[in-house]
Amino acid sequence: MKYFKSQSAAFHPVKLPCRGWILLFCGLAFSVCGFAADLEALVAGLQQRYASVDTVKADFLQTYHAPGIEQIESGTLWMKKPGRMRWEYRDPETKLFVADGHESYVYVPEDRQVTVQPFSASDMHSTPLEFLLGSGDIKKSFNVSLESEFKPKASGTLLLRLEPFNPVSEYSFFVLEVNENTYDLSRIVIHEPGGSTSEFLITNLETNVQVDDERFRFKIPKGVEVIRFDANE
């Protein structure tokens, strides 16, 4: 399961009278302060929005882009603290990803194959998924800025770029699209080191809904091929 760039304009000095320089400086200072205030408010709002979240249910549209490749899939996801997830892919093919807090299972009925490997809440550390469950501290783990390369796909949203302080192999940075008023996440873009991206559009988001633990249990069907990986693979 694949989970779940800023430009600076050149400045050309011009001759300004003393008053002009003062006004220019004040204008720039005001802009920088406003930018910082917007960024701080957005980060604080996002952190607070999900701090009390224990469960999540949502529909998703996942698009994977790589050179010469575009793969689009959709379905429904459930998440529950600590470290439990269920992603039901329905289109274009049926797939299932289940994490029960100890192991994860990827089941592709058409291939009659299940892949099993260790998976716990700590495996979501410093990934976009942990923010949906109110885990992690954004400012302690990431360099945060307002995104300018990717563009919003919904009205009333702003984009945050999060680059990890400690580099990880899975991604270079990711982008969160956040509603300015509710601080709901509506989109996650994960940029991989090779330039590929995985994008998740999140709709019909519900938090703190009743989700039975049984939804995060997976029983391996009889007669399927089982591939197991240990923690070091």
For residue 33, tell me if it sits in a domain: no
- Give residue 131's pLDDT: 67
Structure tokens at 152: 């919003």
- Give residue 121's pLDDT: 75
> Which amino acid makes up residue 19?
R
CA dihedral sign, ordered 109, 111, 117, 123: negative
Residue 120: which pLDDT band, with cuts at 50, 70 and 90? Answer: confident
For residue 15, tell me if it sits in a domain: no
Residue 91's domain is classified under what CATH number? 2.50.20.10
Task: Domain count for the chain, please give it.
Answer: 1
For residue 35, tell me if it sits in a domain: no
For residue 19, tell me if it sits in a domain: no
Question: What does the alpha-carbon distance between residue 177 and residue 207 come to, in Å, rounded to a whole number?
Answer: 17
Q: What is the pTM of this model?
A: 0.78
Which DSSP letter does residue 221 get?
Answer: P
Instruction: State how beta strands 113-118 and 225-228 pair.
Output: parallel
- Give residue 143's pLDDT: 92
Is the confidence at residue 24, as pLDDT, over 70? no
For residue 91, tell me if it sits in a domain: yes
Torsion of Cα atoms, 72 then 76 then 79 then 83, to 10°: -40
Question: What does the alpha-carbon distance between residue 172 and residue 27 come to, in Å, rounded to a whole number?
Answer: 34
Whats the size of the chain, residue-wise?
233
Question: What does the alpha-carbon distance between residue 13 and residue 15 come to, in Å, rounded to a whole number?
Answer: 7
Is the confidence at residue 194, as pLDDT, over 60? yes
For residue 153, tell me if it sits in a domain: yes
For residue 152, tell me if it sits in a domain: yes
For residue 10, tell me if it sits in a domain: no
Is the confidence at residue 124, as pLDDT, over 80? no
Average pLDDT over residues 193-220: 94
Domain with 171 in it:
40-228
